[in-house]
Structure formats: C-alpha cells, structure tokens
Amino acid sequence: MEGNHEKARVRLCYLCNQRRAALKRPKTLEQICRECFYEVFEEEIHQVIVKNQLFKPGERIAIGASGGKDSTVLAYVLSELNRRHNYGLDLFLLSVDEGITGYRDDSLETVKRNELQYGLPLKIVSYKDLYGWTMDEIVKTIGLKNNCTFCGVFRRQALDRGAALLKVDKLVTGHNADDIAETVLLNILRGDIARLSRCTSITTGEDGPIPRCKPFKYTYEKEIVMYAYFKRLDYFSTECIYSPNAYRGFAREFIKDLERMRPRAILDIIKSGEDFRISTSTKMPEQGICERCGYISSQKWCKACVLLEGLNKGLPKLGIGRSRGLDNNHRKDVKQINGTKNIEGKQCGSLDF
Ligand code: SF4
C-alpha cells in the first residue's frame, strides 16, 4: 500500500512514461528523464543538420572551439552524431588565442584536454602571430572602450585563416538559439539591415573564403548548460576579463525575461528575423577584396587592416565609431583608407564568431 503511494508521488518522464523525470526541459517545459533528454537534444541537432544539408560525406570540418560550454558541447555532440549516423566527416578543433592573460590561456587548457578526450586534432591561431598584437597589448593602448570591436574583427579573420591552414571545407560555431535571437534584436536596434538579413541564416559566408554553419541555431542555451552538466563535460565557464557588453547584456537580459514568461519567445524572434524581407531599395554593401591583405571586404581595406593601421600608427580610434575626437588629418586618414564608411562597434565577436 505504502509502495503504491510512493509510486504515485514519483513523477514519470513525460516522453517514455517509464523512468523518473529528472528535469524540466527549458524549451518545452516537459518533465523528462535524463536519457530522454539526451535523446531529444541530440536528435533535434541531427535533424537540423540533415534538413539543412549542412555537411557532405568526406568534408573536413573545423569546430570553432573556445573551451566554453557551447563549443565544448558542439564538439562532443558532433563527434557522437558523426559516428552514430556515419556523416563521414573529418573533424578538427580550431581555437583562437587572443592573448588575454588569465582568461584565454586558461580556457585553451580546456580545449587541449578536449583534444585528447574527443580525439580531435587541434589547431590554435594567435593574434600575436597574425597581427603582431595581443588583446592585453591592445587594451593597454586603447583602454576598455572598443576593445571588443578589435577583438571581434580580428577573431573573424583569425578563424578564416586557421580554417585555411587546416584546409577545411566548413567552419561550425556554437552559436545557440539565444545568441541568434539576441543578434536579431541588436541588429534591429542598430538598424543594421545587412547583418539582419543574414544573421538568422544557418550557413553564411558561402561567397567568402570558408562557409560557416550553426548547428545549434534552434538549441536553447539552458539546454546546452544542462547537457554539459549531466554529461559532466569538461568546459571553461569564466567570463572574459575585458568583457563590457553593456548593450548586448541588456538585450540578453530582455530575452531571458521573455523566455521566463514564454519559452517559445526565443524561437519566435528567430522566426521573425527569418521572415524579414529587405526592401529592394535598401543599398547593400558590395563584396570586394581588401587592397592590403586580400581578405574579403566591402571597402578599400578590410576592417582588420584599418584597425591595425590605427594601432600601428598610434591612432587607435582610426576606423572606430564616428571619428569623433579625431583631428582633421586623422579624419582624412579614415576616409582615404576606408572610403566613406566607418566601422560599427561590435561586442564580443559572438555576432560573427
Ligand atoms: Fe574579446 Fe570577447 Fe573579451 Fe571582448 S569580451 S575582449 S570580444 S574575448
């Protein structure tokens, strides 16, 4: 009798109706067991990969690995799915060392352990080797304002350069559904139509050096954290010591509030972003080649070259924001180098990582 009462009190998994429910799934609020959680989590990602034809058999794929939860779970799940479903992919880990003491050096140790744990070859490219500057040195020069603009621009190119060294066909990143919803909002708030039109694409850069894919496009951040926790994955969770992220932080908090009230809000924002139609009268930037380094650019020089020129000339504001605070000569420098457009500040590179 007592046993029956006990059984009645135990909540069974909503999906298998056999095992004890161990968690409330953030995306659907269903009470499910761990085994079913692993299954639905991995299966949803597999379906996204298949439906969007993200990979072809035999392709070499670099996984952008920072040691954080998203890229660690991505490396783990992609290795599992590659084995389970015979994708036939050659997987690599690709990390960027920005040169941030006390942050990136520690997180890279995690990636080095992941290399052994998952048996995936690792390539690390550094800002110091590519640009002659570490982020520690850049912050010493420019302070804590605009540091993420430099970092984001440099990281984007560093990943492309690392991918070229690895001779991969594609680069996958751990951007999750929360990141994408946040980016949709930020691009609306900034009126950045060019980025708004492509930020929800699951694959970008097909006309550039290396296409980038986001297999976690519909995967909730909370579920990634739960998965990493239950699977006891080895990841690094400290925030960057130079992270200001005030504006992005507000957008993130806003999305978290919406999610608390209605979990579907994240998917709905992504859907809204996907359904935006760009008016044909909106002038879009034309893709060309940087005259200095040959990287893709819609201006005479790519963003990294403009920022580097500023750093090397001792004019770190060159190419940042609206050239306020620059004298006429410097203003002329910006115009000469970059046509008429300046570079918009961008936080933590996660828009473009
Ligand atoms: Fe770079 Fe991100 Fe740190 Fe900014 S917060 S300095 S973009 S790693």
Provide the token pair at 73. Answer: 């779970």
153 lines ligand 1 (CB under 6 A): no
Q: Which CATH superfamily is domain 38-278 in?
A: HUPs (3.40.50.620)
Write out pLDDT tens, residues 185-195.
Answer: 999 888 888 78
Look-up of token digits 């920005």:
98
For strands 122-126 and 212-213, give the pairing.
unpaired
Q: Read off φ and ψ for residue 203, nearest 5 degrees.
A: -125, 130
**Cβ burial 46-81 (10 Å sphere, 16+ → b, else e):** bebbeeeebbeeeeebbbbbbbbbbbbbbbbbbbeb
Residue nearest to atom 7 of ligand 1 (CA): 348
Distance 206 CA to ligand 1 centre (A): 26
138 lines ligand 1 (CB under 6 A): no
- How open is the CA angle 231-233-236, to the nearest 5 degrees? 145
Residue 80 parent element (H or E): helix 69-84
152 lines ligand 1 (CB under 6 A): yes
Look-up of token digits 């007592």:
2
Burial class (CB in 10 A: 0-12, 13-18, 19+), 313: exposed
Ligand 1: nearest atom to the Cα of 147: 6
Distance 54 CA to ligand 1 centre (A): 28
What is the rounded CA–CA span in Å between residue 21 and residue 16? 9
- Could you give the residue range(s) of every CATH 3.40.50.620 domain in the chain? 38-278
Residue nearest to atom 4 of ligand 1 (CA): 148
pLDDT greater than 90 at residue 261 = yes
The residues, any chain, with a CB within 8 Å of residue 170's CB and separated by 6 or more, are 54, 55, 59, 61, 62, 203, 210, 211, 212, 213
Q: Give the alpha-carbon dihedral of 221, 226, 232, 234, to 10 degrees.
A: 10
Write out pLDDT tens, residues 38-90.
Answer: 999 999 999 999 999 999 999 999 999 999 999 999 999 999 999 999 999 99
48 lines ligand 1 (CB under 6 A): no
Is-contact 342 325, C-beta < 8 A? no
Look-up of token digits 């006390």:
102
343 lines ligand 1 (CB under 6 A): no
- Show the DSSP H helices in 125-245 as ranges: 127-131, 135-142, 147-166, 177-190, 193-198, 221-230
Average predicted confidence (pLDDT) for the chain: 87
Pocket test for ligand 1, best of 66, 135, 140, 346 (most atoms within 8 A of CB): 135
Assign 4 a pLDDT band (cuts: 50, 70, 90). low
Distance 209 CA to ligand 1 centre (A): 24
Distance 261 CA to ligand 1 centre (A): 30
Write out pLDDT tens, residues 199-246.
Answer: 999 999 887 789 999 999 999 999 999 999 999 999 998 889 998 766
Window from 55-64, 106-115, 248-257 with minimum mean pLDDT = 248-257
Residue nearest to atom 5 of ligand 1 (CA): 243
Which DSSP category does 10 fall into?
S
pLDDT greater than 90 at residue 5 = no
Assign 250 a pLDDT band (cuts: 50, 70, 90). confident
pLDDT for 8: 56
243 lines ligand 1 (CB under 6 A): yes
Residue nearest to atom 2 of ligand 1 (CA): 348
